[in-house]
Amino acid sequence: MSAMEAIELNLDALELKYERLSVKRGAAERKLLTSLGETGQQSPVIVVRGEAGRYVVIDGHKRVRALKRLKADVARAVVWELGEGEALAASYQLTSQGGRNAFEEGWLVAELHRMCKWSLGEVGARLVRSKSWVSRRLSLVEELPDWMAEEVAQGRIGAHAAASYLVPLTRGNGTEGRLLVENMRGLGLTNRQIGRLCAGYRTAGRETRRKIAADPALYLKASAAACRDGALSEKGNRCLKSIELIGNVSLGLTRSLPETLHCEGTEAEKERLGAAWAVSRERFSQLSKTALAVGLVGGTNAGQ
């Protein structure tokens, strides 16, 4: 039998030991379940030979789970005559453009490095990646707390939100950070909402942090209401005060500069004030460009 020939294997003979290397995506699994129910299995799963006549699934865990839910007895499979590590690496090369997130790649690197005892250089060579890329992926998953890894793996927390917001948050706020994430379960938050929660938590005082961690949904609701009512966030208030301060200082200088330079100003004073003005004008030019870039002002009055 050719190594690429699809055969039928009993579902009970399949081991899903590597399904932990992939995130469960509920919507995609429901879609696949519907498709398999209507048209049957179209693509075979990839397996390697295990012990005692069993087979280890390398690719296709989602299909196997769906077939089991449909009470099927067998799955179409292709048997690769490779070791498990070699097969995992080969499967990654075939599907590297298929949207694996950074954590899934990190879990694969950790498996090949820790369990298969491959050096980081060998892992990189097998995955056609640089050693530095392999090291970064390994570091990402090694600093991920076990409880958060489970949340990501089960699809309850998005990989982007975990990497961008939650991992940095929990480095210095372990217990309270975990409480915040646990209380986010089941809320169906978007990455933007999670980002808003974490930003609010980082800038808040101790008591407000405790309240955010205890009831993140209430914080988001209050934050949304404040935006609708025209209220500013804490950062927004600081920016407003700074802008008002710039305006007040500018008004004061408008009045004092003529008096200073026309009546009492010396050449030395003019030189020093002129140098300070050049620096301030450059900084205000940068501020004006930023205000234009973020949509705070229009193009015709950005520098006015």
Buried b (16+ CB within 10 A) or exposed e, 106-123: bbbbbbbbeebebebebb
What span, in angstroms and rounded, lies between the C-alpha atoms of 77 and 29? Answer: 19
Q: Percent of the chain scored above 90 by pLDDT? A: 38
The structure tokens listed for 294 are 């973020």
220: number of CA atoms within 13 Å, CB side?
20
Q: What is the pLDDT of residue 1?
A: 37
The structure tokens listed for 258 are 């003529």
Q: Which of 196, 228, 260 is the last residue of a domain?
A: 228
Residue 2, pLDDT above cutoff 50: no
CATH of the domain at 65: 3.90.1530.10
Please check whether residue 198 lies inside any domain of the structure.
yes
Total structural domains in the chain? Answer: 3
Please check whether residue 111 lies inside any domain of the structure.
no
Please check whether residue 102 lies inside any domain of the structure.
no
102 contacts: CB under 8 Å, gap ≥ 6: 137, 140, 159, 163
224/279 same-domain check = no
Please check whether residue 42 lies inside any domain of the structure.
yes
Please check whether residue 106 lies inside any domain of the structure.
no
Residue 137, pLDDT above cutoff 70: yes
Asked if residue 144 lies in contact with residue 159, where contact means CB atoms within 8 angstroms, the answer is: no
Band of pLDDT at residue 80, cut at 50, 70 and 90: very high
Q: Which of 12-16, 87-91, 185-189, 195-199 has the lowest mean pLDDT?
A: 185-189
Please check whether residue 14 lies inside any domain of the structure.
yes
Q: What is the pLDDT of residue 173?
A: 61
Please check whether residue 238 lies inside any domain of the structure.
yes
202/269 same-domain check = no
218/239 same-domain check = no
Residue 96, pLDDT above cutoff 80: no
Fill in the amino acid letter for 44: P
Please check whether residue 121 lies inside any domain of the structure.
no
What's the mean pLDDT in 215-240? Answer: 78
Band of pLDDT at residue 229, cut at 50, 70 and 90: low
Sort strands 55-59 and 14-15 into parallel, antiparallel or unpaired: parallel
26/70 same-domain check = yes
180/251 same-domain check = no
163 contacts: CB under 8 Å, gap ≥ 6: 102, 103, 140
71/40 same-domain check = yes
State which residues form the domain around 64.
1-81
Q: What is the pLDDT of residue 260?
A: 76
